[in-house]
Every structure is written in C-alpha cells, then in structure tokens.
Structure 1
Amino acid sequence: MRQEIIYKSTELFLNLGFKSVTMDDIASEMGISKKTIYVHFPNKTKLVEGTTMHLFELISHGIDCICQLNKNPIEELFDIKRFVMEHLKDEKSSPQFQLKKYYPKIYATLKQKQFEVMHECVNENLKRGIDQKLYRTTINVEFITRIYFNSMLAIKDTDLFPLKIFSMNMLLENYLEYHLRGICTNKGVEILNQFITKNQS
C-alpha cells in the first residue's frame, strides 16, 4: 500500500502541485481513508519527502542506464531530456520550484543529490564529447558542468519563466540547444542540427 500511495501522490503532485494537493485529495483519489495514508506517512511533509525521493531514484536510475549505453554525447543529452520529460509530465505545476518554496529542507536534500548525479553524468558527457571531437577542447569541463546544473535549476523558476508563456518542454529544448551551440565544434554542430531537424519533423 505504501508504494501505491507514493505512485498516486507523485502523479497528483506533478499535475497539481505540492501546495494544492491535500491528504484528503489523495485518499479520495485512491478510494481509501486518510487514516490508511497516516499509517505509512505521519504527515504531508513525510509524504512529500517519500514521493520526491522515489521520483529522484527513478529518474537517476533511468539516466544511469542511458549513460551506460555510451551513445554519441549529443544524442545522449537528447535521450536524457526525453526520458526526464516523460517522467515529469511536462511539469505543469513546476514541482521543483514549489518544493523550494514550501518544503525548503526537502528541496536542499534533493538539490544535493541531483547535483551528485548530474555532475558525474555531465562531466563524462563533456569528456567524451571532447574525445570524439564534437565539443571544443578549450572548454573548462568543471565550469560547464556546474553552469549546466545551475541553469537547469534556473529555468524551472516560474517567476522568471511563467508556465503560461514557456512550457517545460520548450524551455528544456531551447536550453539544450543553447548549451550545445556554446560548446560544439563544427562537427558537433552538424550533428546537433540533424537532431533539431529530426525533433521538429
């Protein structure tokens, strides 16, 4: 039952936001009593923490699997973006920004975990891209890794990028292109253009 509660809560939180979904909403959606939820999660904060860490583990595992395929580094980034979007349901409620606002301790823990996973993944991606002559040899790998992570967090700020104007998919698509055009060699740009054309068709 614990896992079922996590699955349903994750779906509701992603679609409607951490703030607006109540324990009553979750119980009603699942056709169970609120007491049943409290058996597994003593309060909403614990439930938010449980769903957040579940989603993090799920996405981290998926990203690890994609990275292990050793694909072309540019293709790898597009695959990761696609995978993340599938699991975050286009972030209609901007969950990460809500988490920062209403559950700062959970957000801080999640941010640290995300940084550890992303740091390794992006670092390896950049090094392989340089080796394959797709990325410029002059880039500072550690700097790009950190600015990439920070920018990924920044585009989820709904004050800066209101969801009415920017969908999360559009933001990620545009940022990925922006990132790659800044580090690609001519050979890399050719491959990037192929992916952009393919995605648009």
Structure 2
Amino acid sequence: MGGYKVTVSRTELKTRIVEKAVEQFTQNGIKSVTMDDIAAMLGISKRTFYEIFADKEALLEECIQREQAESEEFVKSVLGTSQNVLEVLLKCYQRSIEKFHATNKRFFEDLKKYPKAYAQMSRRQDKDVEKTVEFFREGVRQGIFRDDINFYIMNRLVREQLDVLMNTDICEEYSFVEVYESIMFTYLRGISTERGAKVLEEFVREYRKKR
C-alpha cells in the first residue's frame, strides 16, 4: 500500500513538472529556462527532479507528448459536437493558431537544437496533415468542397498564411480573431461548391452570433 502512495505521488509530481515546463518553455523559449529554474519554481529538490527527468530533452519530449494528447482530445470533442467538416476545420485551425500566437517564437527556434523532440514534433505535424486532408475529402463527399482541388497544396498554403500572421505585427492593428477569420473564410469560400458556399455562409452567420 505504501508503495502505491509513492507511485501516485511521483506521478503527480511528474505532471506538475510537465505543466510548469510547458508554461515556461512556451512563454520564454527553451534555452532560457533551466531544469534548476523549474525545480526551484516548484520547490522540488534537484535530486528528485533529475530522478524523474534525466535531462531537458527528456522533459521536452514529455511536454510535446502532453500537448499532442490535449490536441487529440480537443479534436474528439469537436467531432462530437460539430455539424459538418467546415466547423471541425475552423475550430481546429483556430485552436492551432491561438496556440502558436501564445508561444514565444524562440521556442520553435530552440526546439531545433533537440533532435529527438524536434523529430517528435515533425512526425506529429505530418500526421496532422494527413488528418486534415481527410477532412477535406470528407467535405468533397458531403458535396461541400470542390473535387478538383489538391488539398495538400491548399493545406500548405493556409499554413504558410498563418505562419506569416505569426511573424507580422498585423495583430497590433487588427484583432487576432478578425485577421484569422479573414484568412480562413476567404480560403474556404475558394474551395467550396455552390452548396458548400451556402453552408459556409450559414455557418459564418451563426458563428458570429455566438462569438
């Protein structure tokens, strides 16, 4: 019984470390935050900390895994409550760009210095592309999207646009939501069928009412 309590305590401690690390890495970048910094913030001894995570890359991999699990749960919840693929795509894209918007740019620059963690992130991004393209194809089956579109190209283009959004000061002049909507709604109108355009306009009206 005593061993069980220790195991639970260590699991909870690991969760606290990962949560704090995600917070600090995304706010300040990876390089500027040390393992000792995180241990001190949590009031954990260095010895205990390093027993759980041997080095920063191991901690970083766990942080990425946690964020990926949260993303998967979000997609599941959206699938369970959305009426069509348009709503799924819009909500997922919005969550993605909000995450990027809240992340210090140095995080992505620093991540490249950790090969295992970077490879883990890259594998997930490749997987996400396949899932997104399948959503588009489902939209074709629903008669919402045109069937003459290369969705790999379109997905790449919208990602590039969102990356530009991340690296400009346009959001200092206009609200983040307004810029995001301008990109996404224009993009989706361009690949929609006549039926899809009507569905999109109806969705946009309801979306703005709720917002």
Tell me the equivalent position of 1:132: 142
Percent sequence identity over matched residues? 27
Q: 1:50 to 1:95 in 2, by over 3 A?
A: farther
Alignment of 1:22-61 (within 5 A): 22-61=34-73
| Paired residue type of 2:141 | D
Task: Return the alpha-carbon distance in structure 1 between the equivalents of residues 106 and 191 of structure 2.
Answer: 30
Tell me the equivalent position of 2:167: 162
Tell me the equivalent position of 1:179: 187
Q: Count matched residues.
A: 194
Return the TM-score normalized by structure 2.
0.72
Task: Return the alpha-carbon distance in structure 2 between the equivalents of residues 182 and 27 of structure 1.
Answer: 50
| Paired residue type of 2:117 | I
Tell me the equivalent position of 1:114: 125
SS in 1 for 2:147: coil
Q: 1:112 to 1:166 in 2, by over 3 A?
A: farther
CA contact (8 A) 1:134 1:188 kept: yes
Q: Cα distance, 1:128 vs. partner?
A: 2.1
Q: 1:161 to 1:11 in 2, by over 3 A?
A: closer
In structure 1, runs of 5+ residues without a counterpart are none
CA contact (8 A) 2:28 2:107 kept: no
Task: Return the alpha-carbon distance in structure 1 between the equivalents of residues 89 and 103 of structure 2.
Answer: 22
Return the TM-score normalized by structure 1.
0.75
Q: What are the Cα deviations for residues 148-181 of structure 1, in whole angstroms up to 9, with x where unaligned?
A: 1575377447xx8426445895565444334312
| Paired residue type of 2:144 | L
Q: Are 1:98 and 2:116 counterparts?
A: no
Q: CA RMSD in A?
A: 3.3
Task: Return the alpha-carbon distance in structure 2 between the equivalents of residues 173 and 105 of structure 1.
Answer: 35
Q: Cα distance, 1:75 vs. partner?
A: 0.8
In structure 2, runs of 5+ residues without a counterpart are 1-12
SS in 2 for 1:139: coil
